[in-house]
Amino acid sequence: MGNRMPEHSPHDRLLGTYLKDRRTKLDPATFGFRAERRRTPGLRREEVAQRANISPTWYTWLEQGRGGAPSADVLDRIARALMLTDLEREHLFLLGLGRPPEVRYRKDEGVTPRLQRVLDALDPSPALIRTATWNVVAWNRAATVMLGDYGALPPEQRNILRLIFLDPRARAVQYDWESVARFVVGAFRVDAARAGAAEEVEPLVDELCRLSPEFKAMWRDNDVQGAHGEAVKHIRHPVLGPLAFEYSAFAVDGRTDLSMVVYNPATRADADRIASLIETTLVLRGASRASA
């Protein structure tokens, strides 16, 4: 960039103001810098530049709104240097480049108590939360009695593709198993790619290709399916018989790696039957514990 001072725009000033704000909120001692004799709070500009491995002069220009448009790599390094959260990092990219950053897959092993309470409040509508790799990480009581007892499975077995292709019970409840399986494979492919989890799903895909010729053939077809925001699902429940659900899928807290799927009973009568089965199941489990 030489010694030429770049021109600046209102958009550049917004980026500079945001960088300065984030920098001044950091504790120097956290990063091993001496905290005494500082005229202003937070890290110094040269300390941020050092942590981001960029020119102190250029970083100063960025804060002053005169640095021009930085690259995605530079913004990523600055985000790490400032210890930005995912939301703060996205905001940084929107200010610096006018677009969000490329997705980074984040492995998530569970949900917050708040999200679990949301699921529980949806009874008697079965509801669950799945990751971008279609692992089920949370569910409510209605999901247990309608879709399967995920709690009885080891965590590594709570995968929707694994159940669809390897569990005879999951196959038996579908009216048109092949159509459902093709849809699941296509939607799974899109979700994993969108969340940047292509590398993470390779072991699961390899395993299913070995264990299920049907999955192997469908995976090799390379079909993709759009996100199923709303649709109707029919199942044959082993106790209640035929049931229809209106189901919807939502991103959880705006994240691409978690989805909440809700199956709303198509009729009031079906909802009442599910609620009755939930109550019966709870009674039976309570009696089983009492006699143990």
Class (C level, CATH) for 113-291: alpha beta
| pTM of the complete model | 0.68
Length of the chain: 292
Q: Which amino acid is at 164?
A: I
pLDDT of residue 109: 60
How far apart (Å, rounded) are the C-alpha atoms in residues 99 and 86?
Answer: 14
Give the sheet arrangement for strand 241-251, strand by strand. 136-139, 127-131, 258-265, 241-251, 230-237
CATH 3.30.450.180 range(s) for the chain read: 113-291
Task: Provide CATH code, domain 10-97.
Answer: 1.10.260.40
Q: What are the φ/ψ torsions at residue 28 (nearest 5 degrees)?
A: -55, -35
pLDDT of residue 30: 82
pLDDT of residue 203: 93
pLDDT of residue 2: 46
* Packed helices 213-220 and 177-194: angle between N→C axes, nearest 10 degrees: 60
pLDDT of residue 212: 97
195-250, pLDDT tens digit by residue? 778 888 999 999 999 999 999 999 998 887 765 556 788 999 999 999 999 989 88
How far apart (Å, rounded) are the C-alpha atoms in residues 186 and 105?
Answer: 19
Average pLDDT, the chain: 86
Contact 77, 89 (CB under 8 A): no
For 18-38, what is the mean pLDDT?
Answer: 84
pLDDT at residue 1 greater than cutoff 50: no
48-97, pLDDT tens digit by residue? 999 999 999 989 999 888 867 788 899 999 999 999 887 788 888 888 88
pLDDT of residue 100: 80
To the nearest whole percent, how much of the chain has pLDDT over 90? 50
CATH 1.10.260.40 range(s) for the chain read: 10-97
